[in-house]
Structure 1
Amino acid sequence: MLRFENVGLRYGLGAEVLRDLSFAIEPNSFQFLTGPSGAGKTSLLRLMFLALKPTRGLVRVFGRDILTLPPRELPGLRRRIGVVFQDFRLLDHMTTYENVALPLRVAGREESSYRAEVVELLGWVGLGERLDAFPSVLSGGEKQRAAIARALVAQPEMLLADEPTGNVDPQLARRILRLFVELHKSGTSVVIATHDIALMDLYDARRLVLHEGRLHVYE
Structure 2
Amino acid sequence: MIHFENVGLRYGMGPEVLRDLTFDIPKESFQFLTGPSGAGKTTLMRLLFMSLQPTRGLVRTFGRDISTIGREELPLLRRRIGIVFQDFRLLDHLTTYENVALPLRVRGKDETSYRSDVIELLKWVGLGERVNVLPPVLSGGEKQRVAIARALIDRPELLLADEPTGNVDPPMARRILSLLVQLNKLGTAVVIATHDLTLMDRFEARRMILADGRLEII
Which TM-score band (shorter chain)? Answer: over 0.9
2:69 is the counterpart of 1:62: no
Match of 1:126 in 2: 126
Match of 2:148 in 1: 148
Match of 1:184 in 2: 184
Match of 1:113 in 2: 113
Report deviation, 1:204: 1.0
Match of 2:136 in 1: 136
Number of aligned residue pairs: 218
- CA offsets per residue over residues 182-206 of structure 1, 9 Å max, x none? 1000000000000000110111110
2:35 is the counterpart of 1:35: yes
Q: Aligned partners of 2:112, 2:208: CA distance in 1, in Å? A: 41
Report deviation, 1:105: 1.1
- CA offsets per residue over residues 156-214 of structure 1, 9 Å max, x none? 00000000000011101111011000100000000000000011011111000001000
2:209 is the counterpart of 1:197: no
| Structure 1 stretches of 4+ moved >3 Å | none
- CA offsets per residue over residues 75-112 of structure 1, 9 Å max, x none? 00000000000000001111110000011111221000
Q: Secondary structure at the match of 1:13?
A: coil
Report deviation, 1:147: 0.3
Q: Mind listing any 5+ residue stretches in structure 2 that lack a counterpart?
A: none
Q: Mind listing any 5+ residue stretches in structure 1 that lack a counterpart?
A: none
2:161 is the counterpart of 1:161: yes
2:128 is the counterpart of 1:98: no
TM-score of the aligned structures, taking structure 1 as reference length: 0.98
* Residue identity in the other structure for 1:178: S
TM-score of the aligned structures, taking structure 2 as reference length: 0.99
Q: Aligned partners of 2:204, 2:142: CA distance in 1, in Å? A: 27
2:79 is the counterpart of 1:79: yes
Match of 1:11 in 2: 11
Q: Aligned partners of 1:142, 1:28: CA distance in 2, in Å? A: 26
Q: Aligned partners of 2:206, 2:156: CA distance in 1, in Å? A: 20
Identity of aligned residues (%): 72
Q: Aligned partners of 2:9, 2:77: CA distance in 1, in Å? A: 21
Q: Aligned partners of 1:195, 1:211: CA distance in 2, in Å? A: 12
Match of 1:217 in 2: 217
Q: Aligned partners of 1:137, 1:11: CA distance in 2, in Å? A: 39
- When the two chains are superposed, the root-mean-square deviation of aligned CA atoms in Å is 0.6
Report deviation, 1:8: 0.3
